[in-house]
């Protein structure tokens, strides 16, 4: 099985680590990792890196994300979503679409969120959800996240008003917490009823494959059709094609002249007409320096001699 990236359409009632466990078995790869957790009840885009591509995780997880969120007003739960125990109920019949839209203006831009107790955030070296299972509640420091846009897709008034929101946000944003805080702003409380991730960086639901499709492809020896190469996987990053001489220098981790491009940049080299990811570089201290190298000089020599 080659190194690369699988874009999975995660089903509900399955944790992100469960998906990784299934893919380890299906792909026969030990090194498998995802670029951003989805809650068990959430569905949608989960980007999973295989083999050497696991070194891409830190570069792929920082992109914007988009979610379709179904928010239930008038209900608060222990987990801020439908999986938790209801702790408060109020009528939401005074929530109008106009009030909702006005309240949402306060959540666009850089905002602070307190991570929920049931989350993968570590406090004191331990995941919050492990503490929550023991009934512990600990202080969590607020984190700054960015909400780029919120679009009201639909609104249904009533004692149990509901809204469907299209949210575009930065990595690290908790949509459950957004729903909870929105309910607080409206004075009725709220929780997340349903969540689907539509995009994760450059990857969308149109790129995603159901686990059943992935398993069937593996059974028929056709899994390679679904796996993106590492060069394809970095399409969301700025990229530069380099010649053979530069590629060999890059393969040894040698510094290059600064690119002038903020953030990481993918260096590609064509072998037999197909682009190969050689390395990820970034400007630092007046040079472009290797952040991760994916080939060895010998790999390039073998490829060029074919």
| CB of 208 closer than 8 Å to CB of 45 | yes
Question: Which one of the listed residues 39, 181, 207, 283 is annotated catalytic?
Answer: 39
Active-site residue flag, 39: yes
**How far apart, in whole angstroms, are the C-alpha atoms of residue 91 and residue 105?**
23
10 Å CB burial of residue 159 (0-12, 13-18, 19+) is middle
As beta bridge partners, residue 301 has: none
**How far apart, in whole angstroms, are the C-alpha atoms of residue 178 and residue 69?**
10
Long-range contacts of 88-95 (CB under 8 A, 24+ apart): 88/189, 89/189, 90/188, 90/189, 91/159, 91/188, 92/158, 92/159, 92/160, 92/161, 92/186, 92/188, 92/190, 93/157, 93/158, 93/159, 93/161, 94/188, 95/157, 95/161, 95/186, 95/188
| CB of 271 closer than 8 Å to CB of 258 | no
Active-site amino acid positions = 39
């Amino acid at each position: 099985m080659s190194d690369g990236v699988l874009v999975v359409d995660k089903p509900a009632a399955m944790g992100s680590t469960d998906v990784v466990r299934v893919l380890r078995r299906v792909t026969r790869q030990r090194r498998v990792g995802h670029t951003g957790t989805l809650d068990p009840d959430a569905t949608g885009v989960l980007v999973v890196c295989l083999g050497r591509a696991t070194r891409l995780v830190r570069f792929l997880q920082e992109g914007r994300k988009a979610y379709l969120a179904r928010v239930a007003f008038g209900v608060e739960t222990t987990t801020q979503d439908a999986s938790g125990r209801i702790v408060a109920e109020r009528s939401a019949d005074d929530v109008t679409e106009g009030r909702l839209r006005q309240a949402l203006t306060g959540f666009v831009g850089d905002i602070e969120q307190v991570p929920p107790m049931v989350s993968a955030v570590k406090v004191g070296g331990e995941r919050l959800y492990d503490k929550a299972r023991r009934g512990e509640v600990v202080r969590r420091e607020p984190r700054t996240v960015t909400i780029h846009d919120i679009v009201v897709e639909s609104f249904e008034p009533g004692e149990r008003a509901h809204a469907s929101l299209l949210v575009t946000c930065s990595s690290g944003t908790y949509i459950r917490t957004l729903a909870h805080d929105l309910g607080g702003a409206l004075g009725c409380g709220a929780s997340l009823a349903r969540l689907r991730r539509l995009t994760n960086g450059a990857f969308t639901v149109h790129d995603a494959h159901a686990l059943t499709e992935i398993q069937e492809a593996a059974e028929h020896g056709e899994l390679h059709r679904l796996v993106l190469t590492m060069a394809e996987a970095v399409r969301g990053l700025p990229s530069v094609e380099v010649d053979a001489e530069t590629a060999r220098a890059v393969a040894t981790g040698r510094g290059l002249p600064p690119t002038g491009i903020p953030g990481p940049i993918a260096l590609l080299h064509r072998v037999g007409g197909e682009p190969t990811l050689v390395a990820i570089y970034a400007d630092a201290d007046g040079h472009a320096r290797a952040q991760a190298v994916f080939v060895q000089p010998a790999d390039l020599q073998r490829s060029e001699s074919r």
